[in-house]
Amino acid sequence: DLGRWLSDGRIEYLGRNDFQVKLRGFRIELGEIEARLIQCPGVEEATVIAREDIPGDKRLVAYVRPQSGVALVPADLRQQLVPHLADYMLPSAFVMLEAFPLTPNGKLDRKALPAPEQSAIVSRGYAPAQGEVETGLAQIWQDLLGLARVGRYDHFFELGGHSLLVVSVIERLRQRGWELDVRTVFTAPILADLARAIQISPGDVPAFVVPPNRIPDGSTVLTPEMLPLVTLSQTEIDTIVNRTSGGAANVQDIYPLAPLQEGILFHHLLNPAKDPYVISSLLCIDRQADLDAFTAALQAVIDRHDILRTAIHWTGLSQPVQVVHRYAPLPVHRLILKDSDDVTVSLQARMGLSHLPMDLSQAPLIRLQTAADPHSAKLYVLLQFHHIIDDNLSLRQVLTETAAFLLGKSADLPPSVPYRNFVAYARQESHIQAAETFFPDYLADLDEVTAPFGLISVQEEGEHTAEAQQPLNAGLSRALRETARRLGTSPAALFHAGWALVV
């Protein structure tokens, strides 16, 4: 149970910690959603859980027991919650049950709650998609959201879509030769409206074509002509080759950083000794044989994906580049602990910033640290990635593919997509020119220093930071959510805008 002391000595009950979930960066108290649901007319009993029926796609599902003789509609229930809950707290499905499953001791059996069927998904009434674009877009939504059907009036975010899936939608459209920007998905989230905004390349004008990699297999010499995505002198190429394990024979490709990677590299260089962009996961494995199998499976996943065999080089170069190695063996470090040491505490301490430095010029930007528990036969594994090649969503994908190799199901995995494709698209000359035209004009009247003043100190272990919480009253909270919906944005974006105006 969680509670807090109030200034008058009373304790305010906040709920149970085991009923809190973290969803796309937001910490959510499921009890708050349940309390609002029970207040809806016709609801006798309700519970909410976070399900992950599709790997990497966690979503909120509400289970409702209606009052006798009452027929409840998912879309109506969701609409009743809209004025009271933030968008990220709204369930994407409402499953109607005659009775909740119970454990032998009479408590709610959350593990026995069924996966939502199509009828439980929030829908605006089914009307079939019309035309090639609507039909294609509906198929993409169905695949990504795990739905049997999607109608032309359905709302992407009401169906369970979120900002991370928007990127997948854009990529699936691009594979069909259809163009759409991310902003439009948020401003026109209804399928029929979004379909009208999609630009289709004419038959005689091909969609963007990524220049091919011109480094032949087995090449021991690299020249500028082999690198269509980046302009480097022969001297710069030789510098990279000399810093690459295995030399030119181990260089599969060289290309620039994506714009977001450039920002991550900037923050890494501010203080490499305390890099804030190392992602850590602590795993527990029963036996050494299982650890060996896990390591081999993870290596197989690294071999599958170019981005996982990538190193970053910048010293002595005209621009930072990423170098894809043909082979990048996974480093595994075994830690020897004293009998008196707590293995989990020791490994968790290594997740602090002072233990995180990674040499970005050495691939893979992944490492394993293992330690045996002196008091049991278990092995603990600290798995670390650098954010410049991975994020939380792709980490889930890496672990999903690792499991596929462990289970002998690697043949079922889809073909990997080279990261160079994304870099080439993101760095199109037209995109760069548009940005170079827009931002100088937009920032023309800015005369204050914009470097992250004091950022290094707040990246440390937290001793220089302080947190303050100020709950908003219900009226202001409701007004903010309604304003965000009217503007087609999120409450978080409104707060960012307000913060920017204040500072």
> For the domain bounded by 132-200, which CATH number is listed?
1.10.1200.10
Q: Where in the chain is the domain with CATH 1.10.1200.10?
A: 132-200
Phi then psi dihedrals of residue 358, to 5 deg? -130, 140
Regarding the domain with residue range 2-120, which homologous superfamily does it belong to in the CATH classification? ANL, C-terminal domain (3.30.300.30)
CA 181, 182, 186, 188: dihedral to nearest 10 degrees?
A: 20
CATH 3.30.300.30 domain locations along the chain: 2-120
pLDDT at position 445 is: 80
pLDDT at 272: 78
* Sign (positive or negative) of CA dihedral 297, 298, 304, 309: negative
Query: What number of other Cβ atoms are within 10 A of residue 174's Cβ?
Result: 16
d(CA 186, CA 194): 9
Q: How, if at all, do strands 366-372 and 332-335 pair?
A: parallel
Give the integer Cα–Cα distance in Å for 85 and 73.
18
Instruction: Reply yes or no: is the peptide bond before residue 440 cis, omega within 30 of 0.
Output: no
Cα 395 from chain centroid? 8
Task: Tell me the C-alpha distance between 207 and 401, whole Å.
Answer: 30
Q: What is the pLDDT along the chain (503 residues), one digit of tens a residue?
A: 667 777 777 876 655 555 678 776 677 888 889 988 999 999 999 999 998 876 666 889 999 999 988 989 888 898 899 888 887 888 988 999 999 998 888 888 888 999 888 777 776 677 899 999 999 999 999 998 888 889 888 888 878 787 778 888 988 898 888 888 888 888 888 899 899 888 765 554 456 678 999 999 989 999 999 999 999 999 999 999 999 999 999 999 999 999 999 999 998 888 777 787 888 888 888 889 999 999 999 999 999 999 999 999 999 999 999 999 999 999 998 887 666 667 777 776 766 555 567 899 999 999 998 888 777 778 888 888 999 998 877 888 898 899 999 999 999 888 888 999 889 988 887 777 888 888 888 888 877 665 555 555 555 555 566 778 888 888 888 888 778 767 767 778 888 888 888 87
Residue with token string 């940005």: 435
Instruction: Answer whether 233's CB lies under 8 Å from 254's CB.
Output: no
Quote the tokens at residue 190: 């209804």
8 A C-beta contact, residue 340 and residue 375:
no
Amino acid identity of residue 400, one-letter, is T
Q: Give just the sign of the alpha carbon dihedral 148, 151, 155, 156.
A: positive
Architecture of domain 224-426: 2-Layer Sandwich (3.30)
CB 60 within 8 A of CB 158: no
What is the location of CATH 3.30.559.10 in the chain? 224-426
Q: How much is the pTM? A: 0.64
The residue whose two tokens read 């100190």 is 457
